[in-house]
Amino acid sequence: MCIPYGALLLVGGLVGKLLLGWGQPAVVMLVLGTAQVLLSNLSLAAWRGGKKSTAITLSEAGLAGWLAYYAYRGLQQRVSPMLMGALLGLSAAMALFLSYNVAAGGNPPRKSSHAAASPAAAAAAALGDAPPATAS
Protein backbone atom coordinates (compact mmCIF):
# COMPACT_ATOMS: atom_id res chain seq x y z
CA MET A 1 0.00 0.00 0.00
CA CYS A 2 2.89 2.35 0.58
CA ILE A 3 5.42 1.33 -2.05
CA PRO A 4 6.15 4.95 -3.08
CA TYR A 5 6.66 5.96 0.56
CA GLY A 6 8.99 3.03 1.21
CA ALA A 7 10.91 3.64 -2.02
CA LEU A 8 11.32 7.31 -1.08
CA LEU A 9 12.71 6.30 2.31
CA LEU A 10 15.01 3.75 0.72
CA VAL A 11 16.39 6.15 -1.91
CA GLY A 12 16.64 8.97 0.64
CA GLY A 13 18.58 6.72 2.98
CA LEU A 14 20.93 5.61 0.21
CA VAL A 15 21.58 9.17 -0.95
CA GLY A 16 21.98 10.37 2.61
CA LYS A 17 24.44 7.66 3.55
CA LEU A 18 26.51 7.51 0.36
CA LEU A 19 26.53 11.10 -0.83
CA LEU A 20 25.76 13.31 2.15
CA GLY A 21 27.46 11.37 4.92
CA TRP A 22 24.45 11.17 7.22
CA GLY A 23 24.86 8.68 10.01
CA GLN A 24 22.11 6.98 11.94
CA PRO A 25 19.13 8.75 10.26
CA ALA A 26 20.19 7.40 6.87
CA VAL A 27 20.55 3.86 8.22
CA VAL A 28 17.12 4.08 9.86
CA MET A 29 15.65 5.33 6.57
CA LEU A 30 17.31 2.48 4.66
CA VAL A 31 16.08 -0.21 7.03
CA LEU A 32 12.53 1.11 7.34
CA GLY A 33 12.29 1.89 3.62
CA THR A 34 13.27 -1.67 2.80
CA ALA A 35 10.78 -3.02 5.34
CA GLN A 36 7.98 -0.80 3.97
CA VAL A 37 8.61 -1.92 0.38
CA LEU A 38 8.68 -5.60 1.40
CA LEU A 39 5.51 -5.30 3.49
CA SER A 40 3.79 -3.38 0.70
CA ASN A 41 4.61 -6.13 -1.78
CA LEU A 42 3.27 -8.75 0.65
CA SER A 43 0.10 -6.70 1.06
CA LEU A 44 -0.29 -6.38 -2.70
CA ALA A 45 0.17 -10.12 -3.17
CA ALA A 46 -2.44 -10.83 -0.50
CA TRP A 47 -4.88 -8.38 -2.11
CA ARG A 48 -4.36 -9.96 -5.53
CA GLY A 49 -5.04 -13.36 -3.99
CA GLY A 50 -8.28 -12.10 -2.45
CA LYS A 51 -6.95 -12.40 1.11
CA LYS A 52 -7.08 -9.92 3.97
CA SER A 53 -3.95 -7.86 4.58
CA THR A 54 -4.97 -6.14 7.82
CA ALA A 55 -2.00 -7.41 9.82
CA ILE A 56 0.42 -6.26 7.12
CA THR A 57 -1.23 -2.85 6.91
CA LEU A 58 -1.06 -2.46 10.68
CA SER A 59 2.62 -3.39 10.57
CA GLU A 60 3.21 -0.71 7.94
CA ALA A 61 1.32 1.81 10.07
CA GLY A 62 3.40 0.86 13.11
CA LEU A 63 6.65 1.36 11.22
CA ALA A 64 5.51 4.71 9.84
CA GLY A 65 4.34 5.79 13.31
CA TRP A 66 7.64 4.78 14.86
CA LEU A 67 9.55 6.73 12.20
CA ALA A 68 7.36 9.78 12.88
CA TYR A 69 8.24 9.47 16.58
CA TYR A 70 11.93 9.06 15.72
CA ALA A 71 11.80 12.19 13.55
CA TYR A 72 9.97 14.11 16.29
CA ARG A 73 12.69 13.18 18.77
CA GLY A 74 15.31 14.27 16.23
CA LEU A 75 13.57 17.63 15.88
CA GLN A 76 13.60 18.07 19.65
CA GLN A 77 17.34 17.45 19.67
CA ARG A 78 17.85 19.82 16.71
CA VAL A 79 19.26 17.07 14.48
CA SER A 80 18.96 18.12 10.83
CA PRO A 81 15.65 20.02 11.16
CA MET A 82 14.73 19.92 7.46
CA LEU A 83 15.26 16.17 7.16
CA MET A 84 13.52 15.38 10.43
CA GLY A 85 10.65 17.74 9.63
CA ALA A 86 10.09 16.09 6.25
CA LEU A 87 10.29 12.62 7.81
CA LEU A 88 7.87 13.62 10.54
CA GLY A 89 5.32 15.01 8.09
CA LEU A 90 5.48 12.13 5.61
CA SER A 91 5.59 9.39 8.22
CA ALA A 92 2.76 10.83 10.33
CA ALA A 93 0.60 11.23 7.22
CA MET A 94 1.33 7.66 6.14
CA ALA A 95 0.62 6.26 9.61
CA LEU A 96 -2.70 8.12 9.73
CA PHE A 97 -3.65 6.99 6.23
CA LEU A 98 -2.86 3.36 6.96
CA SER A 99 -4.76 3.49 10.26
CA TYR A 100 -7.74 5.01 8.45
CA ASN A 101 -7.55 2.27 5.83
CA VAL A 102 -7.78 -0.43 8.50
CA ALA A 103 -10.58 1.40 10.36
CA ALA A 104 -12.54 1.81 7.11
CA GLY A 105 -12.45 -1.92 6.43
CA GLY A 106 -9.32 -2.31 4.34
CA ASN A 107 -8.88 -2.30 0.62
CA PRO A 108 -11.90 -3.04 -1.56
CA PRO A 109 -12.01 -6.45 -3.20
CA ARG A 110 -10.60 -6.76 -6.66
CA LYS A 111 -13.03 -6.25 -9.54
CA SER A 112 -13.45 -9.22 -11.86
CA SER A 113 -13.42 -7.07 -15.00
CA HIS A 114 -13.13 -3.43 -15.94
CA ALA A 115 -16.41 -3.50 -17.88
CA ALA A 116 -18.39 -4.51 -14.80
CA ALA A 117 -16.90 -1.59 -12.89
CA SER A 118 -18.42 1.05 -15.17
CA PRO A 119 -21.65 2.71 -14.00
CA ALA A 120 -23.39 1.97 -17.31
CA ALA A 121 -22.61 -1.74 -17.06
CA ALA A 122 -23.77 -1.81 -13.43
CA ALA A 123 -27.06 -0.11 -14.39
CA ALA A 124 -27.58 -2.50 -17.29
CA ALA A 125 -26.93 -5.49 -15.03
CA ALA A 126 -29.39 -4.16 -12.45
CA LEU A 127 -32.09 -3.79 -15.11
CA GLY A 128 -31.33 -7.18 -16.60
CA ASP A 129 -30.19 -5.71 -19.91
CA ALA A 130 -27.07 -7.17 -21.39
CA PRO A 131 -24.66 -4.78 -23.07
CA PRO A 132 -24.22 -5.27 -26.80
CA ALA A 133 -21.60 -7.82 -27.73
CA THR A 134 -18.44 -6.47 -29.28
CA ALA A 135 -16.23 -8.25 -31.76
CA SER A 136 -12.87 -9.29 -30.38
What pLDDT score was predicted for residue 16? Answer: 84
| End-to-end Cα, the chain, rounded Å | 34
Number of domains making up the chain? 1
What pLDDT score was predicted for residue 115? Answer: 46
What pLDDT score was predicted for residue 133? Answer: 56
Per-residue pLDDT of the chain (136 residues; tens, 9 = 90+): 788 999 999 998 898 888 877 788 888 889 999 999 999 999 999 888 888 888 999 999 999 999 999 999 988 988 778 888 998 999 999 999 999 999 998 877 767 655 445 565 555 555 655 555 555 5
8 Å CB contact between 107 and 47 = yes
Longest pairwise C-alpha distance within the chain: 67
Which residue range(s) make up the domain with 29?
3-127
Query: Do the domain assignments include residue 57?
Result: yes
Query: Do the domain assignments include residue 32?
Result: yes
What pLDDT score was predicted for residue 60? Answer: 94
Helix locations, 19-135, DSSP H? 24-48, 54-76, 81-103, 114-117, 119-127
Query: Do the domain assignments include residue 122?
Result: yes
